[in-house]
Amino acid sequence: MRGARWVHPLFVATTGLPALALVVAALRDDLGANPIETVTHVTGEWALRFLLVCLAATPIRRLTGWHDVVRLRRSAGLASFAYASAHLATWVGLDHFFAWADIVEDVFERPWVTVGSVAWLGMLPLAITSTRRWIRRLGRRWILLHRLVYVSAGCAILHYLWLVKADSTAPLVHGAILALLLALRWAPQRRRAPAPS
Protein backbone atom coordinates (compact mmCIF):
# COMPACT_ATOMS: atom_id res chain seq x y z
CA MET A 1 0.00 0.00 0.00
CA ARG A 2 2.95 2.31 0.76
CA GLY A 3 3.49 4.80 -2.02
CA ALA A 4 0.48 3.41 -3.93
CA ARG A 5 -0.86 6.26 -6.09
CA TRP A 6 -4.49 5.22 -5.57
CA VAL A 7 -4.53 5.59 -1.77
CA HIS A 8 -4.93 9.38 -1.64
CA PRO A 9 -7.62 9.77 -4.35
CA LEU A 10 -9.54 6.85 -2.81
CA PHE A 11 -9.33 8.49 0.60
CA VAL A 12 -10.56 11.83 -0.78
CA ALA A 13 -13.49 10.08 -2.50
CA THR A 14 -14.32 8.31 0.77
CA THR A 15 -14.55 11.62 2.65
CA GLY A 16 -17.41 12.64 0.33
CA LEU A 17 -19.50 9.51 1.00
CA PRO A 18 -21.34 10.78 4.13
CA ALA A 19 -22.35 13.93 2.22
CA LEU A 20 -23.49 11.85 -0.74
CA ALA A 21 -25.53 9.63 1.59
CA LEU A 22 -27.19 12.73 3.07
CA VAL A 23 -28.06 14.10 -0.39
CA VAL A 24 -29.51 10.74 -1.48
CA ALA A 25 -31.54 10.52 1.76
CA ALA A 26 -32.81 14.08 1.22
CA LEU A 27 -33.83 13.31 -2.38
CA ARG A 28 -35.65 10.21 -1.16
CA ASP A 29 -37.27 12.24 1.65
CA ASP A 30 -35.60 9.82 4.04
CA LEU A 31 -34.05 12.20 6.61
CA GLY A 32 -36.43 11.14 9.37
CA ALA A 33 -39.03 13.10 11.34
CA ASN A 34 -36.67 16.05 11.87
CA PRO A 35 -34.49 16.48 8.74
CA ILE A 36 -32.65 19.55 10.09
CA GLU A 37 -31.65 17.65 13.23
CA THR A 38 -30.52 14.69 11.13
CA VAL A 39 -28.35 16.89 8.90
CA THR A 40 -26.93 18.73 11.97
CA HIS A 41 -26.05 15.46 13.72
CA VAL A 42 -24.56 13.71 10.68
CA THR A 43 -22.44 16.71 9.65
CA GLY A 44 -21.30 17.26 13.25
CA GLU A 45 -20.34 13.61 13.73
CA TRP A 46 -18.30 13.45 10.50
CA ALA A 47 -16.65 16.80 11.23
CA LEU A 48 -15.40 15.31 14.50
CA ARG A 49 -14.50 11.90 13.02
CA PHE A 50 -12.38 13.41 10.21
CA LEU A 51 -10.70 15.70 12.76
CA LEU A 52 -9.67 12.59 14.72
CA VAL A 53 -8.50 10.90 11.48
CA CYS A 54 -6.43 14.03 10.80
CA LEU A 55 -4.83 13.78 14.26
CA ALA A 56 -4.18 10.04 13.77
CA ALA A 57 -1.77 10.67 10.86
CA THR A 58 1.34 11.46 12.91
CA PRO A 59 0.89 8.56 15.39
CA ILE A 60 0.33 6.18 12.42
CA ARG A 61 3.50 7.48 10.74
CA ARG A 62 5.42 7.03 13.99
CA LEU A 63 4.13 3.54 14.67
CA THR A 64 4.37 2.19 11.11
CA GLY A 65 7.01 4.30 9.36
CA TRP A 66 4.43 4.94 6.63
CA HIS A 67 5.34 8.52 5.74
CA ASP A 68 2.78 9.00 2.96
CA VAL A 69 -0.01 8.95 5.56
CA VAL A 70 0.64 12.65 6.20
CA ARG A 71 -0.79 13.34 2.73
CA LEU A 72 -4.10 12.04 4.01
CA ARG A 73 -3.87 14.39 7.01
CA ARG A 74 -4.52 17.51 4.91
CA SER A 75 -7.49 15.91 3.13
CA ALA A 76 -8.93 14.69 6.43
CA GLY A 77 -8.51 18.18 7.90
CA LEU A 78 -10.22 19.82 4.94
CA ALA A 79 -13.02 17.24 5.03
CA SER A 80 -13.53 17.95 8.73
CA PHE A 81 -13.70 21.70 8.04
CA ALA A 82 -16.14 21.15 5.17
CA TYR A 83 -18.50 19.07 7.34
CA ALA A 84 -18.14 21.50 10.28
CA SER A 85 -19.01 24.40 7.93
CA ALA A 86 -22.04 22.52 6.55
CA HIS A 87 -22.97 21.82 10.18
CA LEU A 88 -22.68 25.50 11.09
CA ALA A 89 -24.54 26.61 7.92
CA THR A 90 -27.39 24.22 8.79
CA TRP A 91 -27.65 25.75 12.26
CA VAL A 92 -27.44 29.35 11.03
CA GLY A 93 -29.64 28.94 7.93
CA LEU A 94 -32.10 26.09 8.48
CA ASP A 95 -32.33 26.12 12.27
CA HIS A 96 -32.15 29.90 12.96
CA PHE A 97 -33.15 31.32 9.55
CA PHE A 98 -30.29 33.82 9.79
CA ALA A 99 -31.84 35.43 12.90
CA TRP A 100 -28.47 37.02 13.78
CA ALA A 101 -29.55 38.46 17.13
CA ASP A 102 -30.62 34.98 18.35
CA ILE A 103 -27.50 33.40 16.84
CA VAL A 104 -25.15 35.85 18.61
CA GLU A 105 -27.10 35.41 21.85
CA ASP A 106 -26.74 31.60 21.59
CA VAL A 107 -23.01 31.86 20.84
CA PHE A 108 -22.39 33.94 23.98
CA GLU A 109 -24.94 32.39 26.32
CA ARG A 110 -24.93 28.67 25.57
CA PRO A 111 -21.53 27.16 26.52
CA TRP A 112 -21.88 24.22 24.13
CA VAL A 113 -22.47 26.66 21.25
CA THR A 114 -19.60 28.89 22.45
CA VAL A 115 -17.08 26.03 22.39
CA GLY A 116 -18.51 24.79 19.08
CA SER A 117 -17.88 28.27 17.66
CA VAL A 118 -14.32 28.32 19.02
CA ALA A 119 -13.76 24.88 17.46
CA TRP A 120 -14.94 26.12 14.05
CA LEU A 121 -13.07 29.46 14.29
CA GLY A 122 -9.89 27.51 15.15
CA MET A 123 -10.28 25.35 12.04
CA LEU A 124 -10.84 28.32 9.68
CA PRO A 125 -7.19 29.57 9.50
CA LEU A 126 -6.01 25.94 9.26
CA ALA A 127 -8.18 25.33 6.20
CA ILE A 128 -7.11 28.65 4.61
CA THR A 129 -3.38 27.98 5.18
CA SER A 130 -3.45 24.29 4.18
CA THR A 131 -1.88 24.96 0.77
CA ARG A 132 1.78 24.44 -0.11
CA ARG A 133 2.02 28.18 -0.85
CA TRP A 134 0.98 29.08 2.69
CA ILE A 135 3.34 26.47 4.14
CA ARG A 136 6.21 28.12 2.25
CA ARG A 137 5.02 31.63 3.09
CA LEU A 138 4.62 31.01 6.82
CA GLY A 139 7.56 28.65 7.38
CA ARG A 140 7.93 27.83 11.13
CA ARG A 141 4.91 30.02 11.94
CA TRP A 142 2.81 27.47 9.96
CA ILE A 143 3.69 24.73 12.47
CA LEU A 144 2.82 27.05 15.36
CA LEU A 145 -0.47 28.11 13.74
CA HIS A 146 -1.49 24.52 13.06
CA ARG A 147 -1.27 23.70 16.73
CA LEU A 148 -4.72 25.31 16.80
CA VAL A 149 -5.97 21.88 15.72
CA TYR A 150 -5.59 20.71 19.31
CA VAL A 151 -7.74 23.62 20.55
CA SER A 152 -10.41 22.84 17.94
CA ALA A 153 -10.38 19.13 18.75
CA GLY A 154 -10.67 19.76 22.49
CA CYS A 155 -13.46 22.29 21.98
CA ALA A 156 -15.34 19.95 19.61
CA ILE A 157 -15.28 17.20 22.26
CA LEU A 158 -16.48 19.66 24.93
CA HIS A 159 -19.20 20.87 22.53
CA TYR A 160 -20.39 17.29 22.06
CA LEU A 161 -20.16 16.48 25.78
CA TRP A 162 -22.06 19.59 26.88
CA LEU A 163 -24.85 19.27 24.34
CA VAL A 164 -25.83 15.67 25.04
CA LYS A 165 -28.66 15.52 27.53
CA ALA A 166 -28.74 11.92 28.71
CA ASP A 167 -26.09 9.50 27.47
CA SER A 168 -22.55 10.93 27.29
CA THR A 169 -20.98 7.66 26.08
CA ALA A 170 -20.37 8.84 22.49
CA PRO A 171 -18.59 12.13 23.37
CA LEU A 172 -16.56 10.31 26.06
CA VAL A 173 -15.48 7.64 23.57
CA HIS A 174 -14.44 10.36 21.09
CA GLY A 175 -12.64 12.15 23.93
CA ALA A 176 -10.77 8.96 24.88
CA ILE A 177 -9.70 8.47 21.24
CA LEU A 178 -8.47 12.08 21.14
CA ALA A 179 -6.54 11.59 24.41
CA LEU A 180 -4.93 8.40 23.03
CA LEU A 181 -3.92 10.11 19.77
CA LEU A 182 -2.41 13.06 21.66
CA ALA A 183 -0.57 10.72 24.01
CA LEU A 184 0.89 8.85 21.02
CA ARG A 185 1.63 12.18 19.34
CA TRP A 186 3.48 13.64 22.28
CA ALA A 187 5.09 10.44 23.60
CA PRO A 188 8.93 10.70 23.41
CA GLN A 189 10.00 9.00 20.17
CA ARG A 190 12.16 5.92 20.59
CA ARG A 191 15.24 5.98 18.29
CA ARG A 192 14.84 3.26 15.60
CA ALA A 193 17.81 0.86 15.59
CA PRO A 194 19.82 1.51 12.40
CA ALA A 195 19.21 -1.24 9.80
CA PRO A 196 22.01 -3.89 10.04
CA SER A 197 24.48 -3.05 7.26
Residues lying near ligand HEM in the complex (CB under 6 A)? 40-41, 44-45, 47-48, 51, 80, 84, 87-88, 91, 113, 116-117, 119-120, 156, 159-160, 163
Q: What's the closest the beta carbon of residue 42 comes to ligand HEM, in angstroms?
A: 8
Question: CB-wise, 7 or 127, nearer to ligand HEM?
Answer: 127
Question: CB-wise, 108 or 197, nearer to ligand HEM?
Answer: 108
Q: What's the closest the beta carbon of residue 130 comes to ligand HEM, in angstroms?
A: 16
Question: CB-wise, 59 or 160, nearer to ligand HEM?
Answer: 160
Question: CB-wise, 68 or 171, nearer to ligand HEM?
Answer: 171
Q: Are 54 and 76 in contact (CB under 8 A)?
A: yes
Question: Please, what is the angle between helix 169-186 and helix 148-163, to 10°?
Answer: 160
CA 46 to chain centroid, in Å, comes to 7
Q: What's the closest the beta carbon of residue 126 comes to ligand HEM, in angstroms?
A: 12
CA distance 82 to 102: 24
Q: What's the closest the beta carbon of residue 71 comes to ligand HEM, in angstroms?
A: 21
Q: What's the closest the beta carbon of residue 177 comes to ligand HEM, in angstroms?
A: 12
CA angle 112, 74, 67 (to 5 degrees): 125
Residue nearest to ligand HEM (CB): 44
CA distance 50 to 165: 24
CA distance 194 to 181: 26
The contacts of residue 187 (CB under 8 Å, 6+ apart) are none
